[in-house]
Amino acid sequence: MTSAGRFAPSPSGELHVGNLRTAILAWLFARSTGRRFLMRVEDLDRARAGAEAGQLRDLAAIGVDWDGGVVRQTDREHLYAAAIDRLTAAGLTYECFCARREIQEAPSAPHAPQGAYPGTCRNLGEAERASKRAVRPAAVRLRAAVAEATVRDVLHGSFTGVVDDFVLRRNDGVTAYNLAVVVDDAAQGVDQVVRGDDLLPSTPRQAYLASLLNIPVPEYAHVPLVLNADGARLAKRDGAVTLADLAAVGVAVDEVRDALLESLGLPAGSLRQALAVFDPAGLPREPWVWPGMGGPDA
């Protein structure tokens, strides 16, 4: 299988300029290294009717193209189940009956990092599990043998973060993002993962899981986010931030694309032109504050 990069949007609403900028970067990283570029819709959770079609239309409109068909996670449950079965057969999972509130209120284990699962259900006996199962369906957690892991990132260098007994399958039966992303990237031949740097803290968990599944760890590049004027991550409520909003205040798609390229220190005009001079070493390392475009929100 030839190597590939990808963009993996969650179809929970329209893409905003921050998501589009990340997509442009993922495309540039893949295309500039001769990789295929894949489009994967992460629709296991929070999918909104119609959102996928709008996202794909907007990506195409700014010049992001992809190879092959669109892959949807809801079509791939068999792959996730097979991976969880393999881990379970190796003794690397356990059932967890904790409600979110119980986890928040549980005293954290000694030396456990902030936010790590305290291990409440790690050593339940079969009788205890059976009685808990009668009350509440179980989630499936990874039985992690490490507390942290280190990954290499093209933009961040070496990054060490928490690995805990994270959830692989939620108790409503939905596969967890951390499992699905690792399985999909491997199955699709993705060996370069470019995404927003809000996901960097999850990456050591994913790399550790990949190692347990004998999957090669991809190259990672976690790119800076786009922020609003208050320094918070850009969101839909921040005025005209989607292509549709911007069109409504008189800003054409090409102008948005050019503003995004210029924010990356790249020439405007087309993604192809930007590709000709793209060099990850020259990328800004700081978040970009969305200056607003067009209309009264600008």
The Cα–Cα gap between 32 and 24 comes to 12
Task: Indicate the residue among 22 and 93 with the shorter CB distance to ligand GLU.
Answer: 22
Q: Which of 174, 146, 139 is nearest to 10 (CA)?
A: 174
Q: Are the C-beta atoms of residues 220 and 5 closer than 8 Å to each other?
A: no
Task: Indicate the residue among 51 and 139 with the shorter CB distance to ligand GLU.
Answer: 51
Q: Least CB distance from residue 167 to ligand GLU, whole Å?
A: 16
Q: Least CB distance from residue 55 to ligand GLU, whole Å?
A: 10
Task: Indicate the residue among 220 and 290 with the shorter CB distance to ligand GLU.
Answer: 220
Q: Helix 17-32 and helix 51-61: axis angle, to 10°?
A: 60
Task: Indicate the residue among 8 and 140 with the shorter CB distance to ligand GLU.
Answer: 8
Q: Helix 77-89 and helix 177-187: axis angle, to 10°?
A: 100
Q: Least CB distance from residue 195 to ligand GLU, whole Å?
A: 4
Q: Least CB distance from residue 229 to ligand GLU, whole Å?
A: 23
The Cα–Cα gap between 26 and 40 comes to 13
Strands 157-162 and 167-169 turn out to be unpaired
* Coil, helix or strand at residue 144: coil
Q: Least CB distance from residue 175 to ligand GLU, whole Å?
A: 13
Give residue 54's Cα distance to chain centre: 19
Give residues in contact with ligand GLU (CB under 6 A). 8-10, 42, 181, 195, 199
Q: Are the C-beta atoms of residues 162 and 147 closer than 8 Å to each other?
A: yes
Task: Indicate the residue among 31 and 195 with the shorter CB distance to ligand GLU.
Answer: 195
